[in-house]
Amino acid sequence: MAEFTLRIDGMHCGSCVRRVSQALTAVPGVTVNEVRVGAARLAVAEEPAPVDLAIAALGKAGYTAHLES
């Protein structure tokens, strides 16, 4: 399993953290390790598809996410 950190724009409060967690948890193959304001750390079973799906799911939830290098 590979671990990634996503930088998430537009996440400002506890409600945002909850929405981001819910969006990421719904993505098959993604395990959420930590979500905090501005970033999320996650583990994926396969790469790169689940990371792309996680970023897309966050976009649908109203957030812009970028893979942190």
pLDDT single digits (tens) 32-53: 889 988 888 887 777 667 888 9
Range of the domain at 6: 2-67
CATH number, position 6:
3.30.70.100
- pTM for the whole thing? 0.86
**Chain segment 13-35, per-residue pLDDT in tens:** 999 999 999 999 999 888 888 99
H or E segment to which residue 56 belongs:
helix 49-60
Quick count: other Cβ atoms within 10 Å of Cβ 23?
23
What's the number of domains the chain is made of?
1
